[in-house]
Structure 1
């Protein structure tokens, strides 16, 4: 069976380096924050092209702490999308703010036209908009130039959810550098993934950086004395050491993801009933996922591929606004979310991870073509 993703393969490929890094931390005797975490923060900031990075316990915490550092809380509204991991929306509510969900465009990112229409028609008496969270879903950059222009027009902060787009660029600029602050997940299946959970926040702003460091550790400015109300969200030094190894190989891993995507593009071109991923002009994705759309036949395609030994996943089967915890109570943007609801029924993530062999890619392509041909 060809797996859709395989984080263990990433460990086995660099087992000696990772095991040595773990041993280094165990021998150090420093098991909370410390030099290993600081070194990872510095190396990640250099990779991301920003001045500062603050490592935290998860990607969800990265969003929460970024929002809190921006001063977002009760009485505020944050505009984002429903076609995303639920963490994006959960983080907004966890800081006491109101999420307002806007439809996506053909590249599965926040639709600038719908964003502008939503802000233009903002209802009086509703929580005031304070921030926008564009999500670079599947490793595809969102329409940041247009989004930033709208944000500037309305005086809104932009927090980029970069959890699936480590290293993606738009017009030569790495995503995460457009807004004031960016949050990244370091979950095991991410392009840069720990062996456990983790997250990191990146920014050029020293004031936000100070706030993030205080907020992640109880609001301490001096040990055991909370100057502000914070929380406990510290990246483990063991994970930091592992991530330092993986970060050094991330450019090569990204190149491999792009090569796999190019093979899919070529091998699946013209396949009846299948829509291949769309990339906006000027964008260079990092293909956290390679997501096709199979309108009206996604589930049948997935089942047939499983029988042929090709694993796939659906990211994400139920939009956040239709999930039981949120349905009927989360405000929606102008025009509703018709594309979001449509793509949730058609998207399918093909096998995608750097250790995927060329023979497996060829096998997956042939299986997909065969299934689609038989269906036609």
Structure 2
């Protein structure tokens, strides 16, 4: 799929049925503008010439593995690190030389960094009191913020008397009470268990929408980024390799790295044998058949490419399906029952493994597939994407 087609796809989907997001509006001014920012530590480049526009009220996620540069970029935004080159503008103001405590920014750390000797209410009030805000106003704003994060009844407790999720909400309240224009969150849910993390994700979204504060969240968790973000910036080796809405990053990755990093994917290497404006045919030794994709690409004749297909988009059957395109045969080598779904590892005749997932619609597993069973795998022509890099 060409870049113009991807842009058209992104423009056709809106976050709100009645309102086009700012990043899709011509002429919209970014709230946070990152211009050619780099950060060097000696000879090591942690952030490499990044330019990025983030708009007002966005919940933007920087997604990447360890060492990708996402936390360094966040610290540059907060003012804890100085960029080697480039500049940061927040609401049109250049942040060069502005100390962290003078920026319209607050940061919520992964460890939460709560004061153990202070109560919940005093932790939340700390920043306001340091600024000399009147006692009556402090009391009022603390009460409002604790009510928003559903901790009104726990204001007198100390942090060690709270659960992980409650401590997370105290840290969030403390970060928001000074009404920053921009809130930076470094792995905000990393200390929570899976179930609590999933519940807290939606709480975070609701709070962000209610306050209208622009959030920039750093995370290594793909599911967390997909749940939280209006847009995702995928980072690798100090560079943002793709910026798009979550569904575009997942369904239309722009490279093998993004396809493999975000979710699970099957990749088939092959050579392009037919490249038409609306379709591509690939001869793949790995698949053992020719693969057909119903979107065009820009590539050289006979170029080596990879076709990417997500496991949940592959149909598995005992009998050969009627379709002739994108149909391969294999043997089930492994099965993992995950509760809501089952994962199958199917080995093709040439030894390549293909991952397939199926939802468990019914309780009765008697008719389900089993180990060493011969099966057919097939997928629709519009379910896969061709990657040229």
Q: Which TM-score applies when normalising by structure 2?
A: 0.27
- Higher strand fraction (1 or 2): 2
| Structure of greater Rg | 2
Which structure shows the bigger proportion of residues in helix conformation? Answer: 1
Q: Please report the TM-score for the alignment, with normalisation by the length of structure 1.
A: 0.28
Q: Which has the higher contact order (CA 8 A, sep 6+)?
A: 1
